[in-house]
Structure 1
Amino acid sequence: MRGVDRYFFKTETGKEIFFPANTPFIEAYQAAQAYNEQYRNPLTMLAVKMDKYNRPLNEWSKIILRRIKNEEELGENALSTFEKDTDRLNALFGHVLSKEITPEHTTEYLNHYCAGKSKNVYNRKLSFLNKFFSYMMDEQAITTHPSIGKKWRKIKRVEKQKAQADLDKEGYIAIYDAAPTWLKVAMSICLQSTHAVKELHRLKHKIAKPKAGECGCVWFKEPKETWCDLTSKNVVIYGNMYIHRHKSQHKKSSFVCIPITEALKSAIDLSKTDGLICPYIVRRKPTRNNKISKHCDHRFQITSNNISRGFSKVRDELELYSHLPKEKRPTFHEIRRLSARILLNAGSSPSQRMAHSDEATTKIYTDTNDIEWTEVAPLSVRFD
């Protein structure tokens, strides 16, 4: 603010922090003093000089995050969660010297962020601490592992039962009828393919050839008829939809080839009615001029979270399943279970289609790396 005198101080990195105009001197002085006590503590500076590995936790965090990104093939969600957990750890103990970290810090972290949460949450936070401190051990930042002795919370079988109620046929149809076009497309493809939002939001209308890390369609020049053992009749297919499942991406079963039947083609064709020029099947024109999400590479591409939120929004607007608490109402993910039940009732094993297992199936090789794609039966999922 030009023409106005303001107090300021410099951080340890040299950045100038200005106080608001009219801040009293005593308040500015106390704030700067508190900062210096935390980040320019003479004892801390002396300890770092005596042992170059004994540095504040927030400094080691940057090194560990860099190693995680370079050395581990974490998915988008897993990496984002690790970064957020690291921020939480820094918020509590970022100023603490690494070799002063004790099991008490572990307990305090878990008590602070897991109070009132499920055993699953507790175990995930403990898993994060174990990994984080293992990297610190490897860097010689600590001499003893402060979380390795903590016990996991045992989850009983009854606690593992699915939280959400099942989505029934009537609920699916009601939500589909009220949904915008992009959500209709996502719901239809999920029903036909059995795959989740992590795959749907990456599905492309057309790819040159299937490859790891990509989901999309390879179309035939002309439709073909192929025999389906399950239905005992010929089925017309228009190409293949190749899906590399995100959640199990390192397993052989994660590479799935789904024949594009008439029902699946109809869902894909519906997406073209929006008039948008976009390589992705599930897309919409944003209502605001926001920047592109880090999980997308096109302005019209929809994030997986927004697909899920859109489904829940329509569900609640229709007051479906309103007798249940929100956390137990069926989500978009339950379309997969609905599809699996229909396939199972038709005599087909849904596990192959859903990329859940490494069952013996037809394998096809499609690229120079000899990736095995599991080709599933050319089935259409229909409500009888």
Structure 2
Amino acid sequence: MNPPRPNRLARNLKIMRNKSGTYYYYKMPDGKLESLGKNIGDAVAVDAATALNIALTDKDSLVNRITKRAEELRTYNPSNPPMSQVLDEYKQTLLTALENKKQAKNTVSIKLGKLVEYMEMWSKIRVQDMRTFDLNNLLKTKTPHAQQKHAPLMREIFRYAINAGYCDINPADQLKAQEPDARIRQRHTWDGYCKIYKVAPDWLKRAMDIGLYSLQRRSDLTEIQIARDIDIQTRSIRVLQRKTRNYKAPVHLNIKMGGPLWLAVHSAITSPTHCPYLIHCRPERRDRRDIAAKPHPFAVLPDYLTKHFKKYRDLSGAYDHLEPKQRPSFHDIRALGIMLYFKAGHPKEYIMALAGHATVEMTDHYIDGHEASKPLQVAAGLDISKIDMNDINWKDHRLPTELVKLMDEEG
């Protein structure tokens, strides 16, 4: 048998020629050769190999793509377009609203993120073929908190479709988002915070104070690096909020530190435990797996922070009158800080800007200078001495709705 000649006709086609005839084979994805026949002719073998290449590849052929596009154009109905067109048009209304400052930048970014998900699921379905069933199937995959965001957006999209004349019925009107579970954990009181603080180790005290005065989440606190994010000269901290990193407009803050926050940060910077991360500690025991999971042996991960706060919370006896599931966590320090800022007389816009829930316009009063810049310049100037703790009803905060939502926000 002669060796096979190089095949320049079709990918994966193998031709074997000998005295008894010409044999044609196709090389399958697993490497095995499948016979296409004997003496069928090169042209027939090439056609067969080409067809197999198209059938067995994940990528669509150019011919198929053109054919599908032609079919879509042939059956296109301008009064009943595919959802891809509706979603694209609705997206433009969002961007226009943002440009005209009728919707906040963060709100628009969150909605745009959800549109990407909808496009992947429904792009080829015609708008009049969308059913409540289809929408509810997606809704059921979300947490109750997420459902509270998705259902109104879906109603808004189909209201746009109705106004555009694409459909007469809003399939999202019948959607019912689940109510989030009633809050189980109670909030911190100042007395409870102080009792925990009294028994906590120094590294945890610093973490508590930095969280209280900066209003940042534990995941953001544990990622702050001293050399990269702390400016000692201006006494400021740069924070790129982890929760927003996938948004089109991530929340990037530059926090100007007031006295109490600076004391906690300075204490961390000058601690005898040398570590590039602001929140750090020398662990009681060093496990190889723990060390491998951390960016530095002395860095503190979010779960470690939560676990050790819980340990000293219970050791302090601050909330012994509550069931374990009702006792506030490290995350709830953020809610305590929000309330204390409000009780100290800071306006809600100031607090929302510091927490990362504000538009550029809302932060204008707290920017050094008059031009909005990135990162947003905000201030953490809480002064506990200005608050009469006895004047606070710890069970009835009576805060603006926007701040209550911030306090109830999931970690």
- Structure showing greater radius of gyration is 2
Q: Which has the higher contact order (CA 8 A, sep 6+)?
A: 1
